[in-house]
Amino acid sequence: MNEELQRSRYSDEELAEFEALINEKLESAKEQHIFYLTQLQELSENPDSKIKGLDDGISTSENERLTTMANRQKKHIQHLENALIRIKNKVYGICRVTGKLISKERLRAVPHATLSIEAKQSQVD
């Protein structure tokens, strides 16, 4: 790990490994986004969802929940796509605060991370 912290960037081989991981997560995120959008469309097209009263409140709540989930997924997709751009530019995995390499463990858990654990924790304090 000390070797990781002393280097200025990840190797092309390591970047390729992260790129594969991100592409996999991106595909899954896009599928999930489509699912939410489809659910929203079905909810708006279903004539039964137009019934007034208690059902109206439930369908509004469900509509808001699905909209929120779709928006979160869209933001997640954007973060992953930005990570792919950083890989292409060979600056992926470099903390935007400290300038040091973000640990591989962190990047595997959160592949779109732009902050090291150290920088993230200093933001909270």
Phi/psi zone of residue 102: left (φ > 0), alpha (ψ -120 to 50 degrees), beta? beta
Nearest to 36 by CA among 59, 76, 63: 63
Q: Which residue has the higher pLDDT, 114 or 55?
A: 114
Q: Are 94 and 101 in contact (CB under 8 A)?
A: yes
Q: Check: CB of residue 74 under 8 Å from CB of residue 92.
A: no
Compare 43 and 2 and report the one with higher pLDDT: 43
Model's pTM, two decimal places? 0.82
Beta strands in 1-125 (DSSP E): none
| Per-residue model confidence (pLDDT) at position 2 | 46
Domains and CATH numbers, the chain: 2-124 (1.20.120.910)
Q: 36 falls in which pLDDT band (50, 70, 90)?
A: very high
Backbone phi, psi, residue 101, to 5°: -70, 135
Band of pLDDT at residue 21, cut at 50, 70 and 90: very high
CA 120 to mean position of chain CA atoms: 17
Question: For position 8, what pLDDT does the model report?
Answer: 87
103-123 confidence digits (pLDDT tens): 999 999 999 999 999 998 888
Select the more confidently predicted residue: 101 or 53: 101
d(CA 48, CA 58): 12
Mean of pLDDT values over 68-73:
97
With 0-12 CB in 10 A as exposed, 13-18 as middle and 19+ as buried, what is 1? Answer: exposed
Average pLDDT, the chain: 87
